[in-house]
Structure 1
Amino acid sequence: MPHHTPPSPPPPPPPLLGQGFHWQDLSVGQTFRTFRRTITETDLVNFISCTGMLEAIFIDAEFDGGAIAGRPVPGALTYTLIEGFILQTMIQGTGLAMLELHQKILHPVRVGDTIHARITVTEVRPTSAKGRAVVSSDITVFNQHEIEVMHYSAKRLLAGRPE
């Protein structure tokens, strides 16, 4: 009778590109920076149309409110663009929930400005639910002149490494 060799197990899958950090990979004091992104007129129009933020200062290119020159964009647009960077990189596949957010808008952002952010981890607190932790961070948003335009702190629930 011929000897039969059992098939070898399949190789493990290759690493997943774009996977965010599990909470065990983060520590207090770690700092990251996002890519830069120029805000366009299309970004403004799409955002205000989608959200209903059809305020005169955003829809009238010649609006003269006196206080802000240029084409200002809603602070919510600036915030969501930075959160998009964070989601696509730092918490993709590991972010479970935004638990708390405190935000300050410091300077206007306009169409044509290029923004980026610095993220600093301020707390990593494992929860009683196995495999999860509350991760707090400070996010500072800058324009192309390195002027701080927004600052916010966020508490997120992150998943741990699979056991």
Structure 2
Amino acid sequence: MERKRRLDHRSYTYDDLLPGDWFATPELVVEASHIDRFAELSGDFFDIHMSDAAAQKLGFPRRVVHGLLVLSLADGLKNQSSSRLEAVASLGWNWSFNRPVFAGDTIHAVITVLDKRPTTKPERGIARLQFEVTNQKGEMVQSGTNELMMLRAWIAGSD
């Protein structure tokens, strides 16, 4: 998808978005403490995530961040962005783990609106978003799409 209009720093409803609209998230340094807390929450204590020595035995320079943690962080960065989407719920992900992310790497995402469609509920619509997550070297580490249920303009402005 060709990127077109860069979204300003404000909130956007389903009706505000057009295919090709895009924005960049803030950056985040993924620390070893993120890995430790995610392992504690998820129960995934696989050695490659928990030990530099174990990761090095498998050919990696240091601990490898859980792929699902990077996905979760990318979604969180979307929600911390100054370009905010008036979301109701995430409906699903189609995701690829392109490269490993290591403790100490900096990640951010560029999010592009691929397309959108109405729902049976007139106050909601679904936007399909493309995520491109890169590290501090500009390498794409993860990518994929997310279907996001969003509020329509006329409902988001009412109280």
Give the TM-score of the pair, scaled to structure 2: 0.84
Q: Deviations over 1:74-101 (max 9, x none)?
A: 011111111001123423xx21121121
Q: Whole-Å Cα distance in 2 between the matches of residues 65 and 139 of structure 1?
A: 31
Runs of 4+ in structure 1 displaced over 6 angstroms? none
Match of residue 47, structure 2, among 49, 56, 65: 56
Q: Whole-Å Cα distance in 1 between the matches of residues 57 and 127 of structure 2?
A: 40
- The answer to whether the 8 Å contact 2:48/2:64 transfers is yes
Q: Whole-Å Cα distance in 2 between the matches of residues 61 and 159 of structure 1?
A: 44
Q: Which residue matches 2:118?
A: 126
Which amino acid is the alignment partner of residue 35 of structure 1?
A: P
RMSD of the alignment, in Å?
1.6
3-state SS in 1 of match to 2:52: coil
Q: Which residue matches 1:12?
A: none
- The answer to whether the 8 Å contact 2:25/2:80 transfers is no
Q: Which runs of 5+ in 2 are unaligned?
A: 1-8
Is residue 2:15 matched to residue 1:24? Answer: yes
Which amino acid is the alignment partner of residue 24 of structure 1?
A: D
Is residue 2:31 matched to residue 1:40? Answer: yes
After TM superposition, the structure 1 stretch with the greater mean CA deviation from structure 2, 139-148 or 21-30, is 21-30
Q: Whole-Å Cα distance in 1 between the matches of residues 51 and 110 of structure 2?
A: 32
Is residue 2:88 matched to residue 1:96? Answer: yes
Is residue 2:138 matched to residue 1:153? Answer: no
Q: Whole-Å Cα distance in 1 between the matches of residues 72 and 49 of structure 2?
A: 17
Q: Whole-Å Cα distance in 1 between the matches of residues 28 and 97 of structure 2?
A: 18
Q: Whole-Å Cα distance in 2 between the matches of residues 88 and 38 of structure 1?
A: 14
Q: Whole-Å Cα distance in 1 between the matches of residues 10 and 114 of structure 2?
A: 21
Name the structure with the higher helix share: 2
Offset of residue 19 of structure 1: 6.9
Give the TM-score of the pair, scaled to structure 1: 0.82
Q: Whole-Å Cα distance in 2 between the matches of residues 47 and 66 of structure 1?
A: 21
Percent of aligned pairs with the same amino acid: 25
Q: Which runs of 5+ in 1 are unaligned?
A: 1-17
Q: Which residue matches 2:5?
A: none
Offset of residue 131 of structure 1: 1.6
Q: Whole-Å Cα distance in 2 between the matches of residues 158 and 105 of structure 1?
A: 26
Match of residue 71, structure 2, among 58, 67, 79: 79
